[in-house]
Amino acid sequence: MARLMTSGYHAAHLVADPARAVVWKAIATHLQDWVPARGAVMEIGAGYCEWINNVTASRRVAVDIWTELPRFAGPGVEPLVLDLASGMDVLEPNAFDAVLASNLFEHFPADTLSVVIGDVHRVLKPGGRLLIVQPNFRYAWRSYFDDYTHRSVFTDVSLPALLRAHGFTIDLVKPRFLPYSMQGSRLPITEWLVTAYLRSPFKPMAGQMLVIASKH
């Protein structure tokens, strides 16, 4: 994982794109009701920090193995360069009201991911939530392995089952939440357009799911 998720990966597969900030502003607003505005929130695999930068919370922490992370953490966001595969021992137990993860879990082999999910459960407060935006292999199988760092496959059935096996309660599953990628869109990417898509019951080209789980 550490060898793969380098600046070279970002240059080859995840180039900085201002349109993503627009997308994540709309997503963060859409999901804000699940995130306590006066709580402590951490995003793991934060990358360019588009999600955590747009969240309202008293404390915001961005975690990623990428050494460039601090450059992209917005005002008030605490950057923490950390290899999740090596554990989150530097973080106190029961410290966060919510943990966010976007397009992350598919990059870990199964045994490593079990460690990561266990650590997330440990650092969440009782009643705290894990919000996951994740490629759904059921709908994204054609493009899933175009990313050479993908190591695990999940669907809207298997991911909730994995979380339950680690002590989580499933609060919400949306098998179709977002398009697999916004690249190549024929329409200009605007906050209004993304908001309308998120609110619509019709999800053309959807390839990503939303799973929300809580610790009890």
Given this model, what pLDDT does residue 107 score? Answer: 83
Report d(CA 70, CA 174) in Å as an integer: 32
Q: What is the mean pLDDT of each run of 10 residues along the chain (216 residues)?
A: 51 62 94 98 96 98 96 98 94 98 90 94 98 91 71 90 97 93 67 92 90 97
- Residue spans per domain, the chain: 7-215
Q: Where are the beta strands (DSSP E) in 66-117?
A: 77-81, 96-102
- The continuous run of DSSP H or E covering 191 comes out as helix 191-199
- What was the pLDDT predicted at 12? 47
User: For residue 214, which of 91, 132, 107, 144 has the smallest C-alpha distance?
Assistant: 132
Distance of CA 15 to the CA centre of its chain: 17
Burial category of 152 from C-beta neighbours within 10 Å (exposed 0-12, middle 13-18, buried 19 and up): middle
Q: Which of 6, 89, 94, 81 is nearest to 46 (CA)?
A: 81
Tell me, what's the pLDDT at 20? 81
The residue with tokens 């309202």 is 56
Residue 13 pLDDT: 46
125 contacts: CB under 8 Å, gap ≥ 6 = 94, 95, 96, 97, 215
Q: Specify the pTM.
A: 0.88
* Architecture of the domain defined by 7-215: 3-Layer(aba) Sandwich (3.40)
How high is the pLDDT of residue 3? Answer: 45
Predicted pLDDT of residue 157: 97
pLDDT reported for residue 117: 96
Picking from 52, 102, 44, 94, the residue whose alpha carbon sits closest to that of residue 73 is 52
Residue 27 tokens read as 């997503």
